[in-house]
């Protein structure tokens, strides 16, 4: 599991050419890093409640990273099933659709986690110790990166997906992620103005 790996081990696997871990897991870890920075900034700003909330978000994101690795592994396995007969093709197609329906859960969760992280970032920023403004800015960059990873992962899954209900949900999530990226950019603008002004 990713949560139990060293950073070096995880990055080695990421670079290995294997199908997992990939962009979704990396997006979850980016939001987790942002939450870690927010916890630190909250503590330096005398907001223990926000720090604890950020730590809870770290744990949730680690679960999403592990879930994404499992989910995409199942999709890759389904795509590798035999397709040499009509029956095999039918089984393969059904397995792909079932795996995709499960695999979209973690990237959707990343969008949810990023929204919670932005709520925390806004609260921390409102009362931030000036000495940690750059850390809040770095946290926002991580959260934004996690949103980008979740968005492209969801959009990638839309291609082979045949379930119109799930497809509609994913398109809604992509639109929400785009709005959250704009929100992250606006908050980062506030940080930069405070740092330079």
Q: Mapped to the 3 state alphabet, what secondary structure does 51-106 carry?
A: HHHHHHHHHHHHHHHHHHHHHHHHHHHHHCCCCCCHHHHHHHHHHHHHHHHHHCHH
Write out the chain's pLDDT in tens, 197 residues. 899 999 999 999 999 999 899 999 999 999 999 999 999 999 999 999 999 999 999 999 999 999 999 999 999 999 999 999 999 999 999 999 999 999 999 999 999 999 999 999 999 999 999 999 999 999 999 999 999 999 999 999 888 888 889 999 999 999 999 999 999 999 999 999 999 97
Closest listed residue to residue 45, CA positions, set 131, 118, 116: 131
Interatomic CA distance for residues 35 and 47, integer angstroms: 14
Domains of the chain from N-terminus onward: 19-196 (1.20.120.680)
């Amino acid at each position: 599991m990713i949560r139990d790996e060293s950073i070096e081990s995880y990055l080695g696997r990421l670079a290995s050419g294997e199908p997992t871990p990939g962009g979704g897991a990396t997006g979850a870890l980016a939001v987790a890093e942002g939450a870690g920075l927010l916890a630190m900034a909250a503590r330096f700003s005398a907001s223990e409640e926000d720090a604890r909330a950020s730590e809870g978000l770290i744990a949730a994101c680690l679960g999403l990273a592990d879930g994404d690795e499992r989910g995409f592994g199942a999709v890759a396995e389904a795509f590798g099933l035999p397709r040499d007969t009509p029956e095999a093709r039918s089984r393969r197609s059904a397995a792909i659709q079932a795996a995709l329906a499960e695999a979209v859960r973690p990237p959707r969760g990343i969008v949810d986690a990023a929204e919670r992280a932005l709520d925390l970032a806004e609260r921390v920023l409102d009362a931030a110790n000036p000495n940690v403004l750059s850390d809040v800015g770095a946290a926002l960059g991580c959260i934004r990166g996690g949103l980008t990873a979740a968005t492209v992962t969801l959009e990638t899954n839309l291609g082979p997906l045949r379930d119109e209900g799930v497809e509609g949900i994913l398109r809604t999530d992509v639109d929400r992620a785009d709005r959250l990226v704009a929100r992250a950019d606006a908050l980062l603008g506030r940080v930069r103005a405070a740092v330079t002004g």
